[in-house]
Amino acid sequence: MIAGHRPPGPTARLAFREMTPDDLDDMAALLGDPEVMRHYPRPKTRDEALGWITASQRSYREHGHGLWVVTLRDTGEFVGDCGLTRQTVEGEVFVEVGYHVRADLQGRGYATEAAAACRDHARDVLDVDRLIAIIAPANVPSQRVAEKIGLRFERMATYNGGRQRIYSMKL
């Protein structure tokens, strides 16, 4: 088993678990929501959401981390996803923290709480020494989340064919 092959522990309000195909309805709704995906080229299809789950499961096996399902601790209600993925930016491989929260639950601090737990998991369990976030220039709310958990704007970079803001921090 790969070191760290478990999700972060629970936070005050949130819990994390590995994605499974049983999450397809929730993930398809999340990734298919034009509001949630407004800073992506387009919302994802149901098949693409299944691919997202499959990629997360592959990442758990290969790297000991990935994007995890985030739920409310008290009720188990689906909030979104958050986690750590390997990303190649201009030829270099980094661990990125990423997050998506249901549109109706945005603005409540869930993304910041989940991202902070993933940052701590990267540092304390996975022994990652540098964490990044790749954020669209227009995605100010996501930039604020990155800054709240300690990442700072580093540079503009070409990523997936477009210019993105790279935030980073040494862990």
* pLDDT by 10s per residue, the chain, length 171: 455 578 999 999 999 999 999 999 999 999 999 999 999 999 999 999 999 999 999 999 999 999 999 999 999 999 999 999 999 999 999 999 999 999 999 999 999 999 999 999 999 999 999 999 999 999 999 999 999 999 999 999 999 889 999 999 999
Q: Taking the alpha carbons of 21, 26, 32, 37 in that order, is the dihedral positive or negative?
A: negative
CA dist list (Å): 121 to 19, 82, 115, 154: 17, 12, 10, 22
40 contacts 62 by C-beta, under 8 angstroms: no
The reported pTM is: 0.95
| Structural domains of the chain ordered from first start | 14-170 (3.40.630.30)
Compute the distance between CA of residue 24 and CA of residue 125 in angstroms, rounded to an integer.
28
148 contacts 119 by C-beta, under 8 angstroms: no
CA dist list (Å): 35 to 38, 83, 98, 115, 135: 5, 20, 17, 20, 16
